[in-house]
Structure 1
Amino acid sequence: MSRSGEHLKDEGSKTQVVIAGAVAGLIARFVIAPLDVVKIRLQLQTHSLSDPLSQQDLKGSPIYKGTLPTLRHILRDEGITGLWKGNIPAELMYVAYSAIQFTTYRSVTLGLQSAFGEHRLPAAAESFIAGASAGAVSTTATYPLDLLRTRFAAQGRERIYTSLAASIREIAKNEGPRGFFQGLGAGVGQIIPYMGIFFATYETLRKPMSSLQLPFGSGEAMAGVLASLVSKTAVFPLDLVRKRLQVQGPTRAKYVHKNIPVYKGVIRTLQSILKKEGTRGLYRGLTVSLFKAAPASAVTMWTYERVLRVMMDMEVAKTE
């Protein structure tokens, strides 16, 4: 028997889920865009702030120290538009990603419920499998847009790509189809445990927290925040490796950080960072990432459920 009405995944038609997921992703992305740019800049910064630096080491790269100083640095050097660099491919990615994610999550969950019948999997296991599957599918499908978002956000005052169309043409010409998928292994390796942990934690917390009256939002939003913090911290090193691999190629030395080393492969990149930057090097940008993840997940889940509920209410009103 289906637990319809008790879980997010069982509510709404497929079309309603797609629309709600897309709207949630669009709004969440715009809200957190500046923090995303800061995170990427910090993740690509290879030099340690505790070591003596020479201009030869930096090769003209800026020195970012913390979230707020980095925000001020970008505003001063690149203007307010610098905080939304890469927003167009990111918006396209978030809309597509959210729609594919929620649709796949719903489909896999209903498939598991149908396959196991009365011998249902535990809710946490069911959510983990569905979340991991949704993450892997949506990450792979939207990865070229993720790579473009990173490359645009990594640009300083020097413009490497003049437009989204130009960037696609140049990567296709100079790097081939594989150029759009650099770092995909880290992306999928990151997103499978991330989404599994996120949805398992969210589904565990959502019901007991839904009745809480919080001054800054619903209990559902708070469940999304906590789930995001736990899962984001767990897989952050792979997120950093993905960013370092995404800017590899003929334009590597032209980004705002001009001293990014040559990396090849997820494991070798992890080993290189550990050797040259230490364990702390794997967590550059974690603080702003957590600040970013919390509002992003809260806005996404809150918007998704509200938009879905409005559409379902409108559907009921039409049939009455």
Structure 2
Amino acid sequence: MSGVAQLKDEGSQRQVVAAGAIAGLVSRFVIAPLDVIKIRLQLQIHSLSDPLSVRDVKGPVYKGTLGTLKHILREEGLTGLWKGNIPAEALYLTYGSIQFSAYTYSSHLLDTVPQPYKLPNSVNSFISGAAAGACATTATYPLDLLRTRFAAQGRERVYASILASIRHIAKHEGPSGFFRGLGAGVSQIVPYMGLFFASYEGLKPVLASSPIPMPFGTSDAAAGVIASVLSKTAVYPLDTTRKRLQVQGPMRSRYVHRNIPMYKGAIGTIAHIWKNEGKRGMYRGLTVSLIKAAPASAVTMWTYERAMAVLLAMEKTLKED
């Protein structure tokens, strides 16, 4: 049986949603500190490598992953590494459910295409993954934006609470304020999820039959890691663009980096970063992003497979009783 069939034919739609939600929650808990570090680096427009760029800068100047980690611990304490965790947990809970549900639905829908128009498994995986990513990103985007804004807060609290942030954005920015950077988000997630699922489904059966012992314990986890690293690197500039756009608005100058420029649209943001910060600016935070991608994807796919196995076992036991 092919890898595509194995993933999409396991369990009912309700079981897929439950397993996806569990996978999202567990994954988020594990990588929360790395996510905060990545966001802080992505929002930093200055670098220690350019002395001129740090003149008159109000706010921290982070130097690498470890330097950022130490700075946050020193200035904000351990809890600083989990800023934005509540909306992020809600994001991962709903995102995981919608993602896997949309993926299985899309896969089954594509399976109904008659010959000779039937798609190869790799194309099926790419389209299904891209559609799943676009649906999940759009549906959960306000939570993603809130996660970024809270993670961007330093010692000063920009928003007193999640409810206060929702009220403030709704009042001062309107409904569109919750979707700042959505274009960049969808533009990023479509190729990312398409590449991820296509790579994962292709690597899973190959690694499962490999005589070489797999890292991370299983072929599922190893396939998830490799697929995520390849996909993440390819679309990273769009991720940086999304983060920069998410902190636009009337509170822009109150985040930990107080000199974030005002951007207009995804293309304008990319052009501005490329012109003023160069290629390095587009990929700032990539190292920690890849470090994060490995455990996040491994935990997500490993947990999903195991959660699905438990749910199927429970269903079988109930039927036997």
TM-score bracket, shorter-length normalisation: over 0.9
Confirm whether residue 97 of structure 1 aligns to residue 95 of structure 2: yes
| Percent identical | 65
Shift in Å, 1:70: 0.7
Residues 129-185 of structure 1: CA deviation (Å, up to 9, x unaligned): 000000000000000000000000000000011111111000000100000000000
Q: CA deviation at 1:5?
A: 8.8
CA contact (8 A) 1:4 1:10 kept: no
Note the residue ranges of structure 1 that are not aligned, 5 or more in a row.
none
When residues 4 and 31 of structure 1 are mapped into structure 2, their CA distance, relative to the original with a 3 A threshold, is closer
1:189 aligns with 2:187: yes
Gaps of 5+ in 2: none
Q: SS at the partner of 1:46?
A: coil
Tell me how far apart the structure 2 counterparts of residues 177 and 139 of structure 1 sit (CA, whole Å): 17
Counterpart in the other structure of 2:68: 70
| Equivalent position of 2:249 in the other structure | 249
Conserved in 1, the CA contact under 8 Å of 2:126 and 2:194?
yes
Residues 1:79 and 1:208: Cα distance change in structure 2 (over 3 Å): same
Match of 2:122 in 1: 124
Query: 2 CA distance for matches of 1:55 and 1:240?
Result: 20
CA deviations on 1:170-225 (whole Å, 9 max, x unpaired) are 00001000000000000000000000000000000011112454353101100000
Q: CA deviation at 1:273?
A: 0.5
Match of 1:307 in 2: 307
Q: Show CA shifts across 1:2-56 (max 9, x none).
A: 9799421121000000000000000000100000000000000001322114765
The residue identity in structure 2 corresponding to 1:206 is K
Matches within 5 A, 1:1-320: 6-53=5-52, 56-58=55-57, 60-116=58-114, 120-212=118-210, 213-214=213-214, 216-320=216-320
Q: Quote the Cα distance in structure 2 between the aligned partners of 1:55 and 1:219.
A: 45
Q: Could you say if the C-alpha distance between residues 19 and 228 of structure 1 is closer, same or farther in structure 2, counting changes exceeding 3 Å?
A: same
Q: RMSD over aligned Cα, in angstroms?
A: 1.6
Taking a change above 3 Å as real, the CA distance of residues 28 and 184 of structure 1, as seen in their structure-2 partners, is same
Tell me how far apart the structure 1 counterparts of residues 208 and 220 of structure 2 sit (CA, whole Å): 5
How many equivalent residue pairs? 318
Give 1:116 deviation, angstroms.
Answer: 3.0
Q: For each residue in 1:272-300, what CA deviation from the matched residue of structure 2 results, as whole angstroms up to 9, or x when unmatched?
A: 00110011110000000000011000000
Cα deviation per residue 1:107-133 (whole Å; 9 max; x = unaligned)? 000000013367531111000000000
Output the CA distance in 2 between the equivalents of 1:215 and 1:150.
32
Q: Tell me the distance in 2 between the aligned counterparts of 1:110 and 1:305.
A: 19
